[in-house]
Amino acid sequence: MVLKLKDISVGYSGRKNKIILDKINIDATGREIVALVGLNGSGKSTLLKTISKKTYLLAVQIFFYKKNYMDFNSLDYAKKISFVSTKFIKIKNLTVYDLVSLGRFPHTGKRGRLTKNDNLKIQNALRLTETLKFADKFTNQISDGEYQKVMIARAIAQDTNIILLDEPTAFLDIENKIKLTSIFKNITENENKTIIYSTHDLNNALKISDKIWLIKNKNILQASPEDLILAGELSTLFSDKNIFFDNNSYNFASNIGNTKPIILQNSTNDKNLESITKKALERNNFFVSGKSDLKVNITKENAKVLWNVKYLSENKKLKSIYDLSNFIKTTV
């Protein structure tokens, strides 16, 4: 066990304590990816700041390798846990390499001189995050998405057992979100690290994480994604009963507006075509049924896909899903 939180309360102290999370019991082991998920304002960022000692607990029971985290001084703790926030400031005249090198501060001593080993750690972090190619650029010359990856590189260079990340995909496009998934897997498996990150991207978290910390009702449930699905916990996450977790697609979905029945047949035996067509129908507020005046049959003629639509006395052969969507929207 790398990290253990035992009966802790998280929140803000003042004239009146404000408890956000209460009596939490969760843990993380080595070489795993842990996704912290929950609704807006549920306490994800506050919990990560608490673990990183940036916000103090109302009840202190956090253990790092069985040692209470309050027994570590700041420097020793910085050698164990690194933290990447969603907030960052780009500084002029500071290169990407220089910024990543700041991650070595717990290891360089009072003089702050980088050794050969320090530079190897920095270069490895740049390589892992695919930021080595613009290491000589100034931080104000790179995009927000690139800067986010550089901040992750700084945390990797810090060479801690645990890396905490608050919404690490917030500024990334789809391609870089996918690449970040690969980076996470590489770090945990080959660099022997534990990654704990908060996210609103529940669908992706379920696909890449070894463990989920699910915030519900001021508490946290922890389990593998599959165990949470089997327990039905994900289906009760949202108050809106029209939003549900689809076990087949491994995604959250909505049945809002899907009120029109349609018969869908597939003469091609191409399951992918059928699945994509069904998604388009659902987007247009139809649901697949065994009884309807509207029938769609996916066929092939001369190797070309066609959507044969029959509605009452009307028959149409359509060449694309776009044409199919327009027809059913304007005709039915």
b/e per residue 140-176 (b: at least 16 CB within 10 A): eebeebbbbbbbbbbbbbbbbbbbbbbbbbebbeeeb
* φ and ψ at residue 148, rounded to 5 degrees: -60, -40
Q: Is 295 helix (H, G, I), strand (E, B) or coil?
A: strand
Cα diameter, the chain: 85
Confidence of residue 316 (pLDDT cuts 50, 70, 90): very high
CB 296 within 8 A of CB 307: yes
Domain final position from 186, 204, 236: 236
- Owning domain of residue 276: 260-331
Give every CB contact of residue 11 below 8 A, 6+ residues apart in sequence: 17, 18, 19, 20, 21, 43, 46, 58
Tell me: do 322 and 204 sit in the same domain.
no
Question: How many independent structural domains does the chain possess?
Answer: 2
* CA–CA distance, 54 with 62 (Å, rounded to integer): 14
Most confident of 47-61, 138-152, 246-260: 138-152
Calculate Rg over the CA atoms of the chain.
Answer: 25
Asked if 189 and 307 sit in the same domain, the reply is no
Amino acid at 175: E
Query: Does 250 fall in a domain?
Result: no
Q: Same domain, yes or no, for 147 and 274?
A: no
pLDDT digits (tens, 9 = 90+) for 205-236: 988 999 999 999 899 999 999 999 888 888 77
Task: Judge whether 230 lies within some domain.
Answer: yes
What average pLDDT does range 249-255 have in this prediction?
70
First CA to last CA across the chain, in angstroms?
A: 59
Give me the mean pLDDT over the 175-186 stretch. 88
pLDDT value for 128: 92
Residue 241 within any structural domain of the chain? no
Tell me, what's the pLDDT at 21? 92
What is the Cα–Cα distance from 250 to 207, expressed in whole angstroms?
A: 8
pLDDT at 15 over 80: no
**CATH at residue 320:** 3.30.160.150
Say if residue 59 is in the same domain as residue 136. yes
- Write the CATH number for 174: 3.40.50.300
